[in-house]
């Protein structure tokens, strides 16, 4: 996915605000809905790479609270290191995926924004230019760094591919809540 994600509707912003629960949420960083769940609710948001002049590392933000909780449980059982082990055998694909994320983030900036950052905010430019999935810097010949499953799943769902897709499918059998709770006035059901 290299084109723009569909812009969110007012209803989407309301749903995402509920999905965030009590956490501070600023809809200004959303540049599109990268994926909707089977119920039609925003599941993954596409985010602008800058927030208040500083790097916002997450191009794809998982907004679904049901899936976020499910991934938190998987992480507590060693899911991050397990996915990193899986990616060790796919280092070239992981490198390419990280590069794709860098390019995608840069494409979200206008040519004027890129020029301004290069000339006047060089450290911020370097962070944006070199960050992959969730701002992770790819280091050649090192162990793949996943950071968290939420970032990886959001990227996988938004782009429709991931170098760890086999692992993700085996460990996350369903990526949508079973009952459409994301469309309700409350998300804790």
pLDDT in tens, 32-47: 999 999 999 999 999 9
In a domain, 3, yes or no: no
Q: CB–CB of 13/27 below 8 Å?
A: yes
Predicted TM-score (pTM) of this structure:
0.88
What pLDDT does residue 188 have?
A: 42
DSSP state of 131: B
Mean pLDDT over 8-30 rounds to 80
Q: Which residues of 127-158 are buried (b: 16+ CB within 10 A; e: fewer)?
A: bbbebbbbbbebeeeeebbbebbbbbbbbbbb
Q: How far is Cα 67 from Cα 154, in angstroms, rounded to an integer?
A: 10
CA distances from 6 to 47, 170, 175 (A): 12, 29, 20
104 domain-assigned = yes
Structure tokens at 36: 């909707």
Residue 188 maps to a domain: no
Each residue's pLDDT tens digit, 43-73: 999 999 998 889 988 899 999 999 999 999 9
Name the residue among 186, 161, 164 with its Cα closest to residue 80.
164
- The tokens for 48 are 């602008």
Q: Express as a percent the part of the chain with pLDDT over 70.
A: 93
Q: What is the pLDDT of residue 189?
A: 38
- Measured over the CA atoms of residue 172, residue 147, residue 145 and residue 79, the dihedral's sign is negative
Q: How many domains does the chain have?
A: 1
pLDDT of residue 186: 45
Where residue 1 falls among pLDDT bands split at 50, 70, 90? very low
Q: Per DSSP, what are the bridge partners of residue 29?
A: none
Domain membership of residue 187 (yes or no) is no
- Hey, what are 72's tokens? 């938190």
Distances 136 to 83, 88, 144 between C-alpha atoms, Å: 15, 16, 10
| Domain presence at residue 106 | yes
> Is residue 118 assigned to a domain?
yes
Residues 6+ apart with CB under 8 A from 97: 132, 133, 155, 162, 163
Output the pLDDT for position 23. Answer: 72
Q: What are phi and psi of 51, to 5 degrees?
A: -135, 115
Q: Does residue 189 sit within a domain? A: no
The torsion angles phi and psi of 131, rounded to 5 degrees, stand at -85, 135
Residue 60's domain comprises 10-182
Nearest-angstrom CA–CA distance, 184 and 189: 9
Kind plus residue range of the DSSP H or E element containing 77: none
Q: Tell me the pLDDT of the chain averaged across its residues.
A: 88
pLDDT tens-digit series, residues 78-136: 999 999 999 999 999 999 999 999 999 999 999 999 999 999 999 999 999 998 998 88
- CA dist., res. 83 & res. 9, Å (int): 34
Do the domain assignments include residue 2? no
């Amino acid at each position: 996915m290299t084109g723009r994600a569909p812009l969110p509707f007012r209803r989407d912003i309301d749903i995402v605000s509920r999905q965030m629960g009590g956490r501070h949420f600023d809809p200004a960083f959303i540049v599109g809905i990268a994926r909707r769940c089977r119920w039609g609710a925003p599941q993954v948001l596409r985010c602008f790479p800058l927030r208040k002049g500083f790097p916002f590392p997450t191009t794809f933000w998982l907004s679904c609270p049901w899936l976020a909780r499910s991934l938190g449980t998987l992480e507590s059982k060693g899911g991050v290191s397990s996915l990193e082990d899986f990616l060790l055998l796919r280092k070239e694909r992981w490198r390419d995926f990280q590069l794709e994320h860098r390019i995608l983030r840069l494409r979200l900036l206008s040519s004027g924004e890129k020029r301004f950052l290069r000339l006047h905010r060089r450290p911020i430019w370097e962070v944006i230019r070199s960050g992959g999935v969730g701002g992770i810097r790819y280091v050649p010949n090192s162990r793949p760094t996943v950071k968290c499953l939420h970032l990886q799943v959001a990227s996988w769902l938004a782009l429709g591919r991931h170098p760890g897709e086999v692992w993700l499918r085996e460990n996350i059998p369903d990526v949508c809540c079973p009952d459409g709770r994301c469309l309700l006035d409350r998300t804790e059901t």
